[in-house]
Amino acid sequence: MTQFIKDANWRYATKKFDATKKISSEDLASLKEAIRLTASSYGLQPYKVLIVENPDLRAQLQPVSWGQSQIVDASHLLVFANIINFGEKEIDATINNMATTRNLPIEALQGYGDFMKSKLVSLPEDVKNTWTSKQTYLALGNLMNAAAELKIDVTPMEGFEPEKYNEILGLDKLGLNASLVATIGYRHEEDATQHYAKVRKSEEELFVTI
């Protein structure tokens, strides 16, 4: 069994965090790098990730997160926020970054930039917002896998009110929308969920070979 599979079996959606244990700055930096390196459509990374440490903000967010204790007890709260009405500005920023990183003239990348714009800019806004929101799930997956390797617990959450998050965190003014939430930290010894057998579909039920 590979280490990755062992880590996947170790992790679970933690229900009760130990509020006394905090993630080190070194481990947090590793998790941020795992998120940063996540693959995304066209490499555009159409989202931002807010790391909410402020206890007052987290206390405000708990009631609009179905009252879940992880929001306030976990070491850190991460909010994956997709960019609303993604367009030419964001594509141009990616092209500029690519030119700088690869030491290429902008002109050499103009065709690729125009291609992305032809596929994305004219899409209806709701379609673009759905697409950018989906990209955040890729980043969440990398976070969960990297955290499991470090024996850091992650609870991914869709049980929250995005509109309230947007209001409390001022995301509307930034052209962002709260898409996903993840709490990270260390499981409490009293969290009975950690002892439950992992329930998944069998290989025969899940996979179809054509």
Q: Which residue has the tokens 């987290």?
A: 58
A 10 A CB-CB count for 30 gives 17
Q: Is the pLDDT of residue 195 over 80?
A: yes
pTM of the model: 0.96
In a domain, 98, yes or no: no
Phi-psi sector, 170: left (phi>0), alpha (psi -120 to 50), beta: left
> What's the mean per-residue pLDDT of the chain?
97
**For position 141, what pLDDT does the model report?**
98
Number of domains in the chain: 1
The 8 Å CB, 24+ separation contacts for 115-119 are: 116/42, 116/44, 116/91, 117/88, 117/91
Distance CA 169, CA 145 (A): 27
What is residue 181's predicted lDDT score, i.e. its pLDDT? 98
1 has a pLDDT exceeding 90 = no
> Domain for residue 19, yes or no?
yes
- SS3 breakdown of the chain: % helix, strand, coil, rounded to 5? 50, 15, 35
Structural domain includes residue 109 = no
Residue 108 lies in a domain: no
The pLDDT score that the predictor gives to residue 93 is: 98
pLDDT band at 170 (very low <50, low <70, confident <90, very high): very high
DSSP 85: T
121 — phi, psi (to 5°)? -60, -40
Tell the residue number behind the tokens 């880590």, with chain if given: 7
Domain holding 55, by residue range, is 3-88+123-206
Q: Which CATH number characterizes residue 199's domain?
A: 3.40.109.10
Domain-located, residue 102? no
**Percent of residues, the chain, with pLDDT higher than 70:** 100
* Torsion sign, CA atoms 153, 154, 159, 164: positive
The two tokens of residue 171 are 């995301």
Q: Does residue 18 fall inside a structural domain?
A: yes
Q: Does residue 56 sit within a domain? A: yes
Q: Using CA atoms, how far apart are residues 148 and 150, in angstroms rounded to an integer?
A: 5
Does residue 111 sit within a domain?
A: no
What's the CA gap between 85 and 127, in Å, rounded?
9
Average of pLDDT values for 93-119?
A: 98
Q: What percent of the chain lies above the pLDDT cut of 90? A: 100
